[in-house]
Structure 1
């Protein structure tokens, strides 16, 4: 195997110092255009690329960011991950994707990421509990952590989230204005959905309008089959005259599963018999087959804020951003 060319060899071939070679590959470094051109041309001829691991010893940074993800089966995570990885990589950062679920010890995973010398950790999911982040094993020397797309109640761990309170107020105002009076709410796994606060705000804003009797449905996880199973139990056990006239689902995947079951197995109409609302604006929900009313999170803006915090361009703090209600024929 051919040995990799070194910065010293490039410097000798280009007739410059080794430090000039290093500056040529350092964004924003002071170097003349002519010297930079000469170095880059020589480096290309020698097939040289800078050793980022060696550079990290001098800068005390690795350019690596660990992204912890749970619930990979939820396809709504993919657009978020696409935006997140694209923007991190465009900023010169390497993304380390770590699968976290109930079979893995979160504390050990965090310690492992720290041993990899990552510059930051992004917690993207709902399975991260407060006691995990305050574990005594995770001392003050841990890299900075940021929570994306869910709330964080831990001091020193900022979150960047869609404004759930504003979102649910807009949704409830819309449904109330359309004349719905018997609302229901379908949540995902109980231990995870509490971090999203959508059910809490849904109940609060209906109470302000004098509606306190809300049917609560629970799905075992965030998936279409789980949404279908949840609504199947509800419709099988509830007399037609006592059923909800509108069902808010905690995300679009649950809503899609519920709609398929409502129309397919029970032969009911959406929205005439039961209106459906989702959350997240998953692409499939906008298709003609579903026409799902939903709420879109400001995905790109949320990722931009996390990136600015990691790069030190803004102070780390919890930030909520507004999304937008998307009204379609399902409600």
Structure 2
């Protein structure tokens, strides 16, 4: 194999110093346009690319960002991850996906992120707890953390999220105006659900409308199968006269599972017998087979803000943004 060209060789070919070569490949470094062009031409001729590991040792930055994810069943995650990684790469940052699970929890992931000297950590929809930071295995000086698409009550950890209170207020107003009066709400796994705040806002807004009773269903995880399972159990145990007339699901994949069982196993019509609402506005929900009424998070804006905070173009502080209700045929 051909030997990798060095900065010294590029410097000799361009007739400049080695430090001029380094500055030419360092964003924001002071260097004249003429010198930069000489270096780039010599680098292209020698097929040279800078050694990022060496640069990271010199600058104390790695241009790598860890993205923690602990829920892969939600189809909303993939398109957001695609946009997020694309945006990070446009800033010269490499995203490293970290799977948070029973064998590799948040503490282990943070230790690893610190050891690898990541420039930042994005907690993407993960159920991160404040007490995790007090774990004795962690030490001060962890990479800056940002919570994306979920609320954060942790001091010093900004959240960039959709305004859950505004969203659920719009949803309940819409459903109330449609004439629904027997609401239900389906949560996902409790460990993930609590930080979303959607359940509590839903209950509060119905109470303000004078509707005191809101039936609560719990799915064991965020999946269509779990949503179907929860609705199956509820409909089997409840007489038609006592059933809810509208079910708000914490996300779209739960709602799609609920719709499938409602129609195929119980012969109920959506929305005439049971209306269903989701959250996230995933592509499948818009399909003719579902026509799911949902709420869309401002993903693009949230991603842009997160990356701007990481790169120092915006102050690192919590930002709560408005989404939009997307009415369709299911409610």
Q: Which moved more, 1:246-255 or 1:23-32?
A: 23-32
Q: Deviations over 1:296-319 (max 9, x none)?
A: 001011111111111122222211
How far has the Cα of 1:235 moved from its partner?
0.4
Q: Deviations over 1:153-207 (max 9, x none)?
A: 1111111111000000000000001110000000001121011010000000000
Distance in 2 (alpha carbons) for counterparts of 1:303 and 1:135: 29
Q: TM-score, normalised by structure 1?
A: 0.97
Distance in 2 (alpha carbons) for counterparts of 1:135 and 1:151: 21
Aligned to 1:304, what secondary structure does the other structure show? helix
Distance in 2 (alpha carbons) for counterparts of 1:27 and 1:104: 35
Matched with 1:102 is 102
Matched with 2:67 is 67
Matched with 1:194 is 194
Matched with 1:8 is 8
Distance in 2 (alpha carbons) for counterparts of 1:31 and 1:145: 33
Matched with 2:285 is 285
Matched with 1:317 is 317
1:153-232 correspondence runs (5 A): 153-232=153-232
Maintained 8 Å contact 1:126/1:193: no
Maintained 8 Å contact 1:133/1:154: no
Q: RMSD across aligned C-alpha pairs, in angstroms? A: 1.2
Distance in 2 (alpha carbons) for counterparts of 1:319 and 1:138: 27
1:1-331 correspondence runs (5 A): 1-331=1-331
Aligned to 2:180, what secondary structure does the other structure show? coil
How far has the Cα of 1:76 moved from its partner?
1.4
Maintained 8 Å contact 2:68/2:126: no
Maintained 8 Å contact 1:126/1:195: no
Q: Which moved more, 1:200-209 or 1:7-16?
A: 7-16
Maintained 8 Å contact 1:276/1:330: yes
Q: Deviations over 1:80-136 (max 9, x none)?
A: 111111111110111111100233232122111100011111111233222223323
Aligned to 1:27, what secondary structure does the other structure show? coil
Q: TM-score, normalised by structure 2?
A: 0.97
Aligned to 1:192, what secondary structure does the other structure show? helix
Number of residue pairs aligned between Structure 1 and Structure 2: 331
Unaligned runs of 5+ in 1: none
Distance in 2 (alpha carbons) for counterparts of 1:103 and 1:220: 19
Maintained 8 Å contact 1:293/1:330: yes
Maintained 8 Å contact 2:114/2:143: yes
Maintained 8 Å contact 1:249/1:255: yes
